[in-house]
Amino acid sequence: MNHLVQAVESDNFQIMRVLFVSSEVFPLIKTGGLADVAGALPLALARLKTDVRLLMPGYPQALEAATRRKVVADLGNPLGAGPARLIEGRLADSKVPLLLIDCPSLYGRDGNPYLGPDGKDWPDNASRFGLLGHTAARLCAGESLIGWKPDILHGHDWQAGLAPAYLAAWGGTRPGTVFTIHNIAYQGLFDPSVLAPLELPITSFSMAGLEYYGQVSFLKAGCWYSDKITTVSPTYARQIQIPEQGCGMEGLLAGRAEDLVGILNGTDDAIWNPASDSYLAERYKPGDMIGKARNKAALQRELGLPMQPGRLLIAVISRLNDHKGMDVVIDSLPDLLMRQHCQFAGLGSGDAVIEAQFRALADRHSHHMALHLGYSEPLAHRIMAGADAFLMPSRMEPCGLTQMYALKYGAIPIVGATGGLVDTVADIDVQGETKAGRGFVLDDIGKASLLRAVKRANALFKDKVEWNRTAAANAGLDFSWKQSAQHYIDLYSNLLKRRSGA
Ligand code: ADP
Ligand code: GLC
């Protein structure tokens, strides 16, 4: 048993307090995997006896969805943004307190948290997420705002990056700080003129601070000013220290290698579990996968695809952009459908050009291809349950959650060899002798290698016994959050020990 678990079970142990800061949290608001993580990891930490509270912007949909709301602090007119309050609620029926920054002038808009209706960044994003960092720092420093101060401030992605910068600027006592990079490609870059309204000292605008090639980088602030940096898989932790994937931050991160750790994300069993998933036509579990075939038939019916059990049904559920390799999917689709006789189900949204290309293909190949452009949580679950194979040819993938959902739902993944995909999907043919393979890994991100991988998948698909054995073995894998949450707790407690000189 780990020392911390032992400690929390003894009477005199003081429970560790953690402030979690995220711009999105499932099920309140979600644009990607960050929301899934921020909705599940705090609950897993709480189950391991951590006093964790979540701070996020008070978007209208989040204020509405939070339960048991009450005002806990008047924030005044922070950063000149207009009146603001802190509202405490609960994340659905969990015990984890949720702190929402209610500042209507900055957050009182429906829709996407980052983009306006024109598809462009909200022009005041520096203020919107500056206030998130500012409020997080206020909860940690000086007089306690809500009668509770954290031992650890844990910020996620660029939107939370300024919190440790404020703490550094203000001086005085502060908690241990941890910053998690979910995707280094999104850096929160702004003109230096934002510094004055954000009330950050001009001295912070330096290489030894939040300056990044002449701009203010919220992501760099999070990395530079935090005691520990984490990212969401061990492979990505290595990749971001080299130019190819470091997006210009590789030097800083390599210099902080001692403080940088990759902790693989988990999946939330309460939400992504074919044995209890209420969206499915029929539930099934690793030991009895017969229901999967019925979900395939139901999905084909729902999507208007011919009910052909013998055709390999390949799915994509993704943000549609080049990072995710969607250009390569588009190049390959005619061959996949017409030469390799696959069916295809696509769910996603994103880049307008890629959306239009998918739409054109779906019009041309409507007999073999179904497409839903947009966002649908229920359909995402039904596609996972109905698909034979799940395609994710990412060029970069810090962790990736969907390939883990696919594994659990018995859809065999076909993935790029990067980031968390390397850490979760071993190739069936390469690992064949040990029977440890879980899917098909592309040699590189291009049409030829994608077609080769699908050809291998099709060959295995013809061997029903072996295909079903692999799918069932994958479905039985344990990706629950417990293990990852324990890694975070160890990180927090080691940091606190280091800071107290113990
Ligand atoms: P990323 O965060 O880079 O987009 P992840 O694999 O970590 O990639 O997480 C993506 C999350 O978003 C998953 O929960 C996936 O099911 C969900 N998702 C992506 N696109 C859609 C969509 N169009 N409709 C419903 N869910 C989606
Ligand atoms: C980011 C990454 C994705 C990861 C998710 C959750 O959106 O792109 O790979 O799974 O964050 O950490």
8 pLDDT band (50/70/90 cuts)? very low
* Secondary structure letter of residue 185 according to DSSP: T
Q: How far is CA 493 from CA 15, 202, 232, 401, 487, in A?
A: 11, 33, 19, 27, 10
pLDDT tens, position by position, 100-119: 999 999 999 988 999 999 88
Tell me which residue has tokens 């964790």: 52
286: Cβ contacts below 8 Å, ≥ 6 apart = 410, 472, 473, 475, 476
Q: How far is CA 393 from CA 16, 63, 367, in A?
A: 40, 36, 24
pTM here is: 0.95
Question: 288 pairs with which residues across the strands?
Answer: 285
13 pLDDT band (50/70/90 cuts)? low
Q: Assess whether the C-beta atom of 401 lies below 6 angstroms from ligand 1.
A: yes
pLDDT tens, position by position, 248-304: 999 999 999 999 999 999 999 999 999 999 999 999 999 899 999 999 999 999 999
Q: Cβ distance 425 to 453 under 8 Å?
A: no
Q: Assess whether the C-beta atom of 323 lies below 6 angstroms from ligand 1.
A: no
Q: Assess whether the C-beta atom of 317 lies below 6 angstroms from ligand 1.
A: yes
57: Cβ contacts below 8 Å, ≥ 6 apart = 23, 100, 101, 103, 106, 107, 113, 128, 129, 131, 132
Q: Provide CATH 3.40.50.2000 ranges for the chain.
A: 3-115+122-266+482-500, 289-478
Q: Whose CA is nearest to atom 14 of ligand 1?
A: 33
CATH architecture designation of domain 3-115+122-266+482-500: 3-Layer(aba) Sandwich (3.40)
Q: Whose CA is nearest to atom 3 of ligand 2?
A: 400
Yes or no: is domain 289-478 CATH 3.30.413.10? no
Pairing of strands 176-181, 152-156: parallel
412: Cβ contacts below 8 Å, ≥ 6 apart = 388, 389, 390, 406, 428, 438, 439, 440, 457, 460, 467, 470, 471, 474
498: Cβ contacts below 8 Å, ≥ 6 apart = none
Q: Whose CA is nearest to atom 12 of ligand 2?
A: 182
**Angle of CA points 160, 161, 165, to nearest 5°:** 125
Which two structure tokens, joined as six digits, stand for 234? 């061990």
Helix (H) or strand (E) run with residue 230 in it: strand 228-231
Mean pLDDT for 305-309 is 97
Tell me: pLDDT of 405 over 70: yes
Report which of 472, 108, 54 is spatially closest to residue 275, judged by C-alpha positions. Answer: 472
Of the residues 36, 405, 423, which should be mutated to test ligand 1's pocket, given the most ligand atoms within 8 Å of the CB? Answer: 36
pLDDT tens, position by position, 338-379: 999 999 999 999 999 999 999 999 999 999 999 999 999 999
User: Separation of 485 CA from ligand 1 center, angstroms?
Assistant: 21
User: Separation of 11 CA from ligand 1 center, angstroms?
Assistant: 42
> Residue 331 and residue 300: Cα distance in Å, rounded?
23
> Residue 272 and residue 402: Cα distance in Å, rounded?
10
